[in-house]
């Protein structure tokens, strides 16, 4: 039996990241059927199918699922449409990989998580496509930080996000949330307490704002996150510091001049290690370096093997909630519950 994949949404992120990953996965796993792609624009769906090898196209999700009965669905639509479609697909019983954010509010994220629960109490396989979690270079850095943290040597992590000309209304839900989630991933802990600061830039647009978060994780590690939507360069950079140790990480973001990324480890003012992003990924292809291949391939392989994938919706709820606090221009956030929920004001 072929392993059937359907995707919903044929926009830019599908073309740039996911489409090449599906094509490569099908080449590596000949029993895979790229069954259908769905988009409200039939021309987009047809062009995507031709480029990446999907057999059929649809404009309606319900019709596609009824006809195709896929083994997995990948939801690659803009943020405002994710929750309603994710809930529908999960309620039909299909394993789901969904683009971030899993809802634009904690309430939406919880509704998606609830839809993933089967009547018997088990969970449908699901994964949120926070691609930073699956960047090979970030995984390498995370493993090093885990080692330092376990030894009690990791003290602080700083994360800077810089963009050019981001004056749209979705800056937090689709951009800053990457740093919010990646910090949790790198620290290996949920947020405990966050203080939030803003500098409004009204001459560039009503909602354009520099954002700064600082605080502490449940583990005691402190952090800082800066988001600059209208800077002069595109990059994401991390600096982790501790007792006699430093890690400097340049993420391989698509349009960043830092790509393919790299990381340096320092001790006693000497650089001891350098990792090149392409070498760590074993590829120079941007969709591999940026984590899109691994986040999809691992998910598909887990489903085929009957394993519950990691990186599910429940793991993303606090990231959504903190991004929501930023959207509301809250000044303080306190994590209070085991699932990462918190109070914001």
Residue 343: predicted pLDDT? 47
Residue 1: predicted pLDDT? 82
| CATH architecture for the domain at 3-130+294-307 | 3-Layer(aba) Sandwich (3.40)
pLDDT bracket for residue 344 (50, 70, 90): very low
Sheet bearing 32-38, strands edge to edge: 56-58, 32-38, 3-8, 72-75, 96-99, 126-129
Query: How many Å apart are CA 146 and CA 176, to the nearest integer?
Result: 23
Q: pTM of whole model > 0.85?
A: yes
CATH topology of domain 132-290+318-344: Dihydrodipicolinate Reductase; domain 2 (3.30.360)
Query: What DSSP character marks residue 308?
Result: P
Residue 54: predicted pLDDT? 98
Sign of the CA dihedral 83, 84, 85, 87? positive
Residue 14: predicted pLDDT? 97
Sign of the CA dihedral 224, 311, 219, 152? negative
Q: Give pLDDT tens digits for 115-171.
A: 999 999 899 999 999 999 999 999 999 999 999 999 999 999 999 999 999 987 656
Phi, psi dihedrals of residue 337, rounded to the nearest 5°: -120, 165
Domains of the chain by residue range = 3-130+294-307, 132-290+318-344
């Amino acid at each position: 039996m072929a392993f059937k994949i359907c995707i919903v949404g044929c926009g830019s992120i599908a073309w740039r990241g996911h489409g090449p990953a599906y094509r490569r996965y099908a080449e590596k796993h000949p029993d895979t059927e790229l069954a259908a792609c769905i988009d409200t624009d039939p021309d987009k769906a047809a062009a995507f199918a031709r480029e990446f090898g999907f057999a059929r196209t649809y404009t309606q999700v319900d019709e596609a699922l009824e006809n195709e009965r896929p083994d997995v669905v990948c939801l690659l639509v803009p943020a405002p449409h994710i929750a309603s479609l994710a809930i529908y697909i999960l309620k039909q019983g299909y394993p789901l990989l969904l683009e971030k954010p899993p809802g634009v509010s904690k309430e939406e994220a919880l509704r998606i998580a609830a839809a993933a629960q089967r009547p018997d109490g088990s969970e449908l396989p699901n994964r949120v496509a926070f691609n930073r979690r699956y960047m090979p270079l970030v995984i390498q850095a995370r493993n090093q930080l885990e080692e330092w943290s376990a030894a009690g040597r990791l003290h602080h992590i700083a994360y800077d996000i810089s963009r050019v000309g981001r004056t749209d209304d979705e800056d937090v839900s689709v951009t800053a949330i990457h740093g919010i989630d990646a910090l949790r991933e790198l620290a290996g802990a949920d947020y405990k307490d966050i203080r939030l600061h803003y500098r409004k830039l009204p001459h560039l647009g009503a909602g354009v704002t520099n954002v700064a978060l600082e605080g502490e994780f449940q583990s005691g590690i402190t952090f800082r996150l800066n988001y600059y939507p209208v800077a002069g360069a595109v990059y994401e950079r991390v600096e982790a510091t501790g007792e006699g140790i430093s890690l400097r990480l340049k993420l391989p973001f698509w349009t960043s001049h830092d790509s393919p990324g790299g990381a340096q480890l320092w001790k006693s003012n000497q650089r001891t290690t350098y990792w090149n992003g392409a070498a760590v990924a074993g590829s120079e292809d941007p969709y591999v370096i940026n984590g899109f291949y691994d986040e999809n391939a691992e998910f598909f392989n887990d489903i085929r093997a009957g394993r519950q994938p990691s990186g599910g919706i429940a793991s993303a709820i606090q990231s959504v909630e903190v991004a929501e606090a930023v959207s509301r221009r809250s000044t303080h956030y306190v994590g209070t519950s085991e699932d990462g929920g918190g109070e914001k004001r």
